[in-house]
Chains A and B, each alone.
Chain A
Amino acid sequence: MFWRMVRGAVFRQRGRVLMIALTVALGASLATAMLGVMLDVGDKVNRELKTYGANINVIPKGASLLGDLYGVEDGSGVSDQYLPESELGSIKTIFWAFNIVDFAPYLDARAVLNGGGDVSLTGTWFDKRLELPTGETLVTGVRGMKSWWDVTGEWLAPGDTHAAMVGSAVAERNGLIAGDTISVGYAGRSVDFLVKGVFDAGGSEDDRIFVPLGAAQELTGREGRVSRIEVSALTTPDNELSRRAAQDPQSLSVKDWETWYCTAYVSAICYQIQEVIPGAIAKPIRQVAESEGAILEKTQFLMLLITVLSLAGSALGISNLVTASVMERSREIGLLKAIGAHNSPVSRLVLTETLAIAAIGGAAGYFAGLGFAQIIGQTVFGSAVEPKPMVAPIVAVLVVAVTLAGSIPSIRLLLSLRPAEVLHGR
């Protein structure tokens, strides 16, 4: 009899049922979408922040940054150290391989341009297709890492061997434009390059000429060697543990060490890169690593607060509506009481009905919310938002709590009314 009454209420009063179900569905879809986006926003923004370029610099042990400052390159003993190019693929085999977004090797040399002045020459990968030891292939290089370069002309394609990209400062000094041919000399040898593009990087790179790594190695006679590697990795913001570890990993307890090693701190990733590339030192570029952490934290917190507050708002809205629709049933409840129903079966009946309707609405809303989250992900970041399994139980609990919160006070209010008055229409 109880269930027949519930069924009857659900099916006969279709309009009102639809309204509650719709509202609950809307609230549930909102909750699903917001939670989904919130849980994924860190990852997404982290990828966007990669436009700031590399956050880890890998140099050979013993090499010095002084080369950058004085232009001392060969024979002075400070920057004669190199890393083997063959080991580069193993960067993608470390514990946090999945977090390595891009990397590019560089071979720096000072060369003579067109038989005249000195120029800094850098050999690198532009759009390199790399076969990894794991059997996967990866496309990486400066094209992805230097997204802020403003290029007049074109980027070098993977097949180009004797083409170059010239920094705007060099181009201005020597009157070069895309399409010119330059001759670059090194230790008596000289090779011609076709200028395919001129770039404006707004920094020290404007003073350089970039050529394919192979061509630079051939010209300088340093086959298979690179002078440094820039790595762009997704990292977790630093905390006290990672700071301690950055000073000296050996000082940590075994448990702390494991936590540190298995978290994507920039210092842990640096440590792991040093493990796979012999004779290398990996240093975080603090300007990028530190700021990324700060911005990431703020964004996540912002989304969290917006989510919580708008969830609270929609919860209030829904329970409000549930209250309104339960109050509407005063006559029905009055009649039930008049023919002798006790308080507890009446409230059970109304609660079961409302919860059944809310469950249907909540389920529909959950799937609609998954769709909303995808729309947001695709529009803003151009990639799908990963559905997280933990969202479903949260939404379910939320729906039940909101429905109960909305119906219990109004049921109590109705039960306190006198049946005769209600039926009379007061």
Chain B
Amino acid sequence: MKRQTMYLRMITSSLVRRRSRMIVALLAVAIGATILSGLVTIYYDIPRQMGQEFRSYGANMILTPSGGGRITPEDAARAAALIPPENAVGIAPYRYENIKINEQPFIAAGTELEGARGASPYWFVSGRWPEETGEALIGQEVADIIGIGPGGVFTLSGITADGDGFKGEFTVSGVVQTGGAEEAFVFMSLEALGDIAGGGGLDVVECSVSAPQTELEELAERIGAGTPGVTARLVRRVTQSEVTVLSKLQALVYLVTAVVLMLTMICVATTMMAVVAERRREIGLKKALGAPNGEIIREFLGEGLLLGGLGGLLGAILGFVFAHTVSINVFGRPILFKPLLVPVTMLVSIAVTGLSCLLPVRRATDVDPAIVLRGE
């Protein structure tokens, strides 16, 4: 009992008395631990954060009718409910009707405008998105052919699949540029299309879901099994490429982390060595007073462990702040806190400080105390 109190007192007093030196060492350990926990947190969060950015490529899963015909709104709602709401960036159901404006053939697309906006963030709209049922968004090509811009009024007519004619007047709220086939479309809300062309099913539902490819595949299967009227397909061009780019990025951060980590570990180790090496006289004195080698090593190790633990804890906290700063600045989103990283950071810093203390202490205990004390 007494021995242990003495041991603890020796460790703490050596940390407290040699305050400035110990602060230097503690700082070194804390910096190393900060970089470790910060970079590892970023590394693990990259797929989630960048995955969000990749959603700017638009839909990565589409729902199509299983057989012929169309998707009923009930089926679409049931399928959409299977997508976890926190992962759904945008879900846009589309209903297409062939229409004519000034006797020129075009396609009218009825959609949920809010969902379409989320699923296709790359659309470049001059003007604004429709807000009322009497407004429509027209593609650049439509605008060029019929010669109207935002604010213009046009009449469209068409024939439903059942053979009934319909007609409607719309105000152009904006012109959309995409560089793709959508430029020949007229977009309006589902309700607006339903008002003029009557009720009808959906042709396709575009979903932009923030999830890795394997999760998406599972999700597609679940949707197929849960709603028999709907088949879910992945948009391979988007999902495949996302996997390629993300894995490269993660590998990059991984390597950078490894290199930085190695260097900071060496930095910590050299600092610890320098701090211990200057205590050779103290070791010599202890030996001259009759302390066995094992006890001296244990004492220094105890100091190292305490220092490593403290520095690791400090570093884990600072590292989270570091990762959070990066995440907020780059992605504008907070980072996920990984509780497991705290003990891991502490363990690694304890191991590194312990090991780097051991080496110089070993060397110091090996020499003759008389020589050390003489100052050679």
Contact = CB atoms under 8 A, between A and B. Distances in A.
Interface of A: 19, 22-23, 26-27, 29-30, 33-34, 37, 41, 45, 48-49, 51-53, 57, 64-66, 68-70, 147-150, 200-203, 283-291, 294-295, 298-299, 301-303, 305-306, 309-310, 313-314, 316-318, 320-321, 323-325, 327-328, 372, 375-376, 379-381, 425
Interface in B256-287: 256, 259-260, 263-264, 266-268, 270-271, 273-275, 278, 281
Top 9 A-B pairs ranked by shortest CB distance? A202-B236, A317-B267, A148-B240, A285-B179, A290-B122, A291-B56, A51-B241, A324-B274, A286-B179
B256 A37 contact: yes
Contact of B270 (A19, A288, A298): A19
Nearest to B140: A283
A314 B38 CA distance: 14
A237 to B, nearest CB: 12
A97 B267 CA distance: 46
Given A51-B240, A148-B241, A287 B122 contact: yes
Contacts of B281: 425
Interface stretch (B157-165, B180-188, B293-301): B180-188
Contact of B53 (A26, A29, A51, A298): A298
A317 B252 contact: no
B263 A29 contact: yes
A167 to B, nearest CB: 12
Contacts of A318: 267
B21 A327 contact: yes
29 contacts: A30-B259, A30-B263, A37-B256, A45-B245, A45-B248, A51-B245, A66-B141, A68-B181, A69-B181, A69-B184, A147-B240, A147-B241, A150-B236, A202-B233, A283-B179, A285-B180, A287-B180, A301-B329, A306-B39, A306-B256, A310-B256, A310-B260, A313-B35, A317-B28, A317-B264, A317-B271, A321-B267, A324-B21, A324-B24
A301 B326 CA distance: 9
A23 B278 CA distance: 18
B330 A298 contact: yes
Contacts of A284: 179
Interface in B222-239: 233-239
A335 to B, nearest CB: 12
Contact of B278 (A34, A288, A328): A328
B249 interface: yes
Nearest to B23: A320
Contacts of A66: 105, 141, 184
A376 B268 contact: no
Contacts of A49: 241, 245
A323 B24 contact: yes
Interface string B24-46: 11011001101100110010000
Nearest to B245: A48
Given A23-B266, A57-B179, A69-B181, A286 B122 contact: yes
Nearest to A150: B236
Given A289-B179, A295-B50, A321-B271, A53 B237 contact: yes
Contacts of B238: 52
A141 to B, nearest CB: 17
A19 B56 contact: no
Interface string B205-247: 0000000000000000000000000000111111111001100
Contacts of A147: 240-241, 244
B252 A380 contact: yes
B263 A26 contact: yes
A159 B251 CA distance: 38
B236 A200 contact: yes
Contacts of B256: 34, 37, 306, 310, 376
A202 B235 contact: yes
Chain B CB within 10 Å, residue with most, of A26, A290, A310: A310
B267 A295 contact: no
B331 interface: yes
Chain B CB within 10 Å, residue with most, of A147, A284, A303, A309: A309
Contacts of B42: 302, 306
Contacts of B32: 313, 317
A22 B58 CA distance: 50
Contacts of B50: 295, 298-299
B367 interface: no
Nearest to B183: A65
B274 A321 contact: yes
Given A23-B270, A286-B122, A379-B251, A69 B107 contact: yes
B179 A314 contact: no
A325 B241 CA distance: 51
Nearest to A365: B263
Contacts of B235: 202-203
A53 B105 CA distance: 30
A148 B27 contact: no
Chain B CB within 10 Å, residue with most, of A29, A37, A287, A314: A287
Given A298-B331, A314-B267, A320 B183 contact: no
Contacts of B25: 324
B57 interface: yes
Contact of A321 (B28, B260, B263): B28
A299 B240 contact: no
A66 B267 CA distance: 65
Chain B CB within 10 Å, residue with most, of A65, A372, A376: A65
B22 to A, nearest CB: 11
A252 B6 CA distance: 81
A354 B239 CA distance: 54
B230 to A, nearest CB: 17
B154 interface: no
B267 A23 contact: yes
Given A288-B57, A375-B255, 17 more contacts: A64-B184, A69-B107, A69-B184, A147-B244, A149-B236, A287-B58, A287-B179, A294-B53, A303-B252, A305-B326, A306-B253, A309-B38, A313-B34, A316-B27, A317-B268, A324-B24, A376-B255
Contact of A51 (B27, B38, B244, B325): B244
A264 to B, nearest CB: 17
A49 B54 CA distance: 11
A26 B245 contact: no
B322 interface: yes
B266 A26 contact: yes
B274 A328 contact: yes
B177 interface: yes
B264 A301 contact: no
B124 interface: yes
Nearest to B96: A69
A24 to B, nearest CB: 10
Contacts of B264: 313-314, 317
Given A148-B237, A202-B237, A70 B105 contact: yes
Contacts of A30: 259-260, 263
A299 to B, nearest CB: 6
